[in-house]
Every structure is written in C-alpha cells, then in structure tokens.
Amino acid sequence: MSISPDVNETLCRTGPNTAMGRLFRRYWIPLLISSELPDNDGAPLRVTVLSEKLLAFRSTDGGVGLIDEFCAHRGVSLWFGRNEEHGIRCPYHGWKYNVNGQCVDVPSEAADSGYSERIKLTAYPCVEQGGVIWAYMGEPSEQPPLPKFEWNLVPHANRYVSKRLQESNYLQAMEGGIDSSHVSFLHSGELHTDPLHKGTKGAKFQGDKKPIFEVQESSGGLLIGARRNAEAGSYYWRISQWIMPWYTMIPPYGENALNGHAFVPIDDENCWVWSMTHKPAVALTQEEIHSMDNGEGMYAELIPGTYQAVANKRNDYLIDRDLQKSGRFYSGVKGIGMQDGSLQESMGTIQDRSLENLVSTDNAIIMARNRLLKAAKNLDKGLPPPGLDQESHFVRSASVELPVGVPFKEAAAENLKASLGKSHVSVISV
C-alpha cells in the first residue's frame, strides 16, 4: 500500500498556505531551547520554522519576541539589529520594533506624526516552559492552552532536552519515531552495550524480530502496542504514544528514564529532531546526563556550538564497515540517534512514498498519515484538530509484560497516565 504523489505532497509541505501548514499552526511549537537566548538584550537569532523566516530575541525585561526577520522599511535583516531598551533597532535607518512586532520608532519622521504606529511586522506569541521557548503561529482567537507534557512540568533536575538538525522532511523523521519494528534490527547492537539500554529485559526481548502490532486511536493521536514473545506464557508489550502533530513517546527500558521526540519542520527539506528525557519522581543522575551529553542513548554527539551531528551525510555518518560486519553496530553507524538519522536522510530530503511497499508492521505509520490528512480536512470545515487539549498531552509510554491473551490497553491503562512525582512503570532489569 503506497500513497499518491499528490497525497505525499499534502503531507510533506508545511508552508503558510498548505494543508499541513495550516494544521500545524494550530499547535504550540517548540521553537528554541531557552539557553539559546541566554541574555536580556542579547544577540538575536535567525529562526526558520514552517518555512517562515523569523527573528527571535530576548527583550530588556526577559520576554521573548518572535517577529518577521526583515525590516518593513527596505527589507534589511534585523539579525544585524541592535537589541536594546525593549526592542530591536534596524541598523540601516534606525527603525525599532518591540516583541509584538510593533514599530515604536521611525527616527526620520516626527514623533507626533503617528507614522510608526501604522507599521507592524508579523509577530507570534512565545512562552517559556520546561526550558523551552514555545511559539504559537496560528490565529489569536484559536490559541490553545499551553502544552502539558510531563517532561516540561517536572523540576529542571529531572529533565534533559536537546535537539539535532536533520536534513530531511519532518514526515520521514516522525515516521521513524512511530516505527517500533526497526529496533530489533537497526539498534540491535546498541541495545546490549548502550548504558541507557543494556542489562534490561526490554533489550533482551527486542530480539524477537517479528513483532505484532495493535494500533488504536487515542484522544490526541495513536496508542501503538508492539507485542513480542517474552517468558513462557507472556508477551512483552512496548506501548508508544504518538501525539499530534509530531510527538512520540518512547517506552522505557528497565529503571531508565522516559524519553520522547518532537519532529518540527524548519522548511520542507529540514527539521529539528527534539529529544526529551525525564524522570517523574527523581533527578537524573550525573552518569545519565554525562551519557546524553556524549551522544549516547537516542542522542547524538554534536559539533560544538551547533546542533549539527558530528556524524553527518558529509562524512557518510562515520560508518564503520568492520563494526557493521561484527554486529557491534548493525548498520555500521554509531549511536541510536544517528542510526535513525542516517537512514532517514538517505531517503532524500522528501521521500517518494508512491514507491513504497508497506507491510503489517507499518500500520501505525498508515494510521498517522490518515489522521493528519483527516485533521487537515476537518480544519477546513471549522473542526479543531486532536491533540490541542492538555489531557491528551499528560500521558506516558510504557513497557509491560502481560499474560498471553490480556489486552494491552486495558491492562496497562494506569501505566499510560502521567502523574507528577510518581515513578513510571517498566519491566524490571534482567
């Protein structure tokens, strides 16, 4: 089962006047890590999101502005501007804008002329939560409640957030996050050596290379159950959450933390792969933080001062054919994060899905595509999309061992609810 080129175009294009672009602008968007704008009146940042070229800056009072990058006068990039006294001033002729995009000073015009009041750049509201700057790019009257993902509500010490540039369309990155079947192949070497995976029953049971999938719609997206054989008379269930429009929640291994991703379009050929790790009840250990800083687990080693991975397509992801043959790294690429990234980028910047041959383990991907398309169509009818309400965010993934014949959704229902201060549930270590 494949999709037509026209449907593929609909799913992949996210600019302002596209079906997905209109849909995605209904949600709060993780825009920047707060530390990217460390100082009041500090240097601004160029930001491209959903194919819009914008400028982010932290004002004198600490508030964050997200405005059109270009001055309304003659189109100069405000990245060159002076961030000072509650606004950013174009260095060309001194026009100044506040965090709302309102022009507050045109030095060449008389102050009482009212000229500056008639000039306003596109601007989007921003809030900070969980160490992340979030932006809302939709109609003000349709602004939803702030996100309520557990990871951005826990104490700072319980949370680790990073992001990585990926040179592909968001959809193939997100579909990789939904797909649980590839873990038994692509990541099979890492599961027994990576410090955030090794020594757990989850890593052991992932050796079953023929998982059975049960996928059900949830209020905010999909509940994806991947069933593998476990101990005699039981199944090992990895239960993932996909929350619209682009979030995945990864089931835990043993006593390790909960993990998730967000796949945010920069433009149609690039995206940010956000990675979020948290523990609901206790702080992350220094060993865990060190591992993530070093690009272990689902993270990637980054070139200092950038969000570009050290292993990237320009150096063939540092593939090691000898280690590939040995099975130490199944694909020859080191690290779970770049094992995913390398193959998703290998599909081209926008994958031609009309050439696919999908199988039963791709059911979650098929359902996610259909849910996005349906939501976009319903939006044109005035119906709000799923995943806007806070209740749909406040959920968890889980990994559980259940007797044969026991439905995973009902048996694991309590484990799939978030609860601040309450530890998550996972199958225990071997």
Regarding whether 166 and 46 lie in a shared domain, the answer is no
Same domain, 309 and 170: yes
Instruction: With cut-offs at 50, 70 and 90, classify the pLDDT of residue 198.
Output: low
Residue 2 counted as domain residue: no
What's the rounded Cα separation, in Å, for the pair 335 and 13?
29
Give the Å distances, CA to CA, from 294 to 194, 205, 288, 333, 427. 11, 26, 10, 15, 26
Task: Choose one of 115, 142, 169: the last residue of a domain.
Answer: 142
Can you give the pLDDT at residue 332? 85
Count of C-beta atoms within a 10 Å radius of residue 281: 12
> Which residue among 121, 142, 163 closes a domain?
142
Given this model, what pLDDT does residue 92 score? 97
State the pLDDT at residue 328.
Answer: 78
- HSE-up of 187 (CA within 13 Å, CB side)? 28
Q: Does 365 lie in the same domain as 222?
A: yes
Per-residue confidence at 351, pLDDT binned at 50, 70, 90?
Answer: very high
| Same domain membership, residue 133 and residue 202 | no
- For range 330-340, the mean pLDDT: 89
Instruction: Evaluate if residue 388 carries a pLDDT over 70.
Output: yes
Residue 326 belongs to domain spanning: 150-416
Q: Is the domain of 99 the same as that of 169?
A: no
For 243, list phi and psi in degrees, rounded to 5.
-110, 125
Same-domain status, 94 and 237: no
pLDDT one-digit tens code per residue, 280-322: 999 999 999 999 999 988 999 999 999 999 999 999 999 999 9
Q: Is the pLDDT of residue 190 over 80?
A: no
Q: Is 202 found in the same domain as 119?
A: no
Per-residue pLDDT reduced to its tens digit, 22-73: 999 999 999 999 999 999 999 999 999 999 999 999 999 999 999 999 999 9
Residue 423 lies in a domain: no
Low-confidence winner among 11-15, 233-237, 267-271, 385-389 (lowest mean pLDDT): 233-237
Would the pLDDT of 9 be above 70? yes
Q: What value does the mean pLDDT take over residues 109-120?
A: 94
Rounded to whole angstroms, how far apart are CA atoms 361 and 142? 36
Is the preceding peptide bond at 16 cis, omega within 30 degrees of 0? Answer: no
Residue 303 lies inside a defined structural domain of this protein: yes
- The pLDDT confidence band at residue 2, using thresholds 50, 70 and 90, is confident
Does residue 422 form part of some domain? no
- Does residue 84 have a pLDDT over 50? yes
Has residue 430 got a pLDDT over 50?
A: no
Say what percent of the chain tops pLDDT 90.
75
φ, ψ of residue 229 to 5 degrees: the values are: -65, 140
Q: What is the mean pLDDT of residues 106-135?
A: 96
195/313 same-domain check: yes
Question: If you count them, how many residues does the chain have?
Answer: 430
- Give the mean pLDDT of the chain: 92
pLDDT of 197 > 70? The answer is: no
For residue 411, pLDDT over 90 is answered with: no
Q: What pairing do the DSSP bridges indicate for beta strands 234-243 and 221-229? A: antiparallel
Spatial distance between the Cα atoms of 163 and 101, rounded to a whole number of angstroms: 27
Residue 215 lies in a domain: yes
Q: Are residue 229 and residue 356 in the same domain, yes or no?
A: yes
Rounded Cα–Cα distance for residues 315 and 266 (Å)? 23
Domain count of the chain?
Answer: 2
**pLDDT at position 194 over 80:** no
Nearest to 239 by CA among 411, 366, 419, 388: 411
The tens digit of pLDDT for each residue in 162-186 reads: 999 999 999 999 999 998 778 767 7
Partners of residue 395 on adjacent β-strands:
417
Tell which of 93, 123, 142 closes a domain: 142
Q: What is the DSSP string of 300-367?
A: --B-TTSSSBSS-GGGGGG--HHHHHHTSSTTS--SHHHHHHHHHHHT-SS--GGG----GGGHHHHH
Q: Give the model's pLDDT for residue 195.
A: 65
Q: Does the residue 204 lie in any domain?
A: yes
Instruction: Collect all residues with Cβ–Cβ distance below 8 Å to 83 and sequence separation of at least 6.
Output: 41, 42, 43, 44, 57, 58, 59, 89
Residue 408 clears pLDDT 60, i.e. is over it: yes
Predicted local confidence at residue 406, as pLDDT: 87
Tell me, yes or no, whether 72 and 187 share the same domain.
no
Question: Does 288 map to a domain?
Answer: yes
Phi-psi region of 290 (alpha: psi -120 to 50; beta: other; left: phi over 0): alpha
SS3 252: coil
Mean pLDDT of 351-359: 94
pLDDT of residue 429: 38
Same domain membership, residue 161 and residue 122: no
CATH number for the domain that contains residue 348: 3.90.380
Residue 188: closest CA among 175, 198, 177: 198
Query: What pLDDT, on the 0 to 100 scale, is given for residue 90?
Result: 98
Query: 3-state class of 270 per DSSP?
Result: strand
pLDDT of residue 192: 65
CA dist list (Å): 430 to 87, 107, 198, 281, 415: 57, 70, 10, 23, 20
Shared-domain flag, residues 162 and 57: no
pTM to 2 decimal places: 0.93
From 22-26, 181-185, 358-362, 379-383, the region with the lowest mean pLDDT: 181-185
Q: Predicted confidence band at 138 (pLDDT cuts at 50, 70, 90)?
A: very high
CATH number at residue 77: 2.102.10.10
**DSSP symbols for 373-397:** HHHHHHHHTTPPPTT-SHHHHSB--
Q: Does residue 16 belong to any structural domain of this protein?
A: no
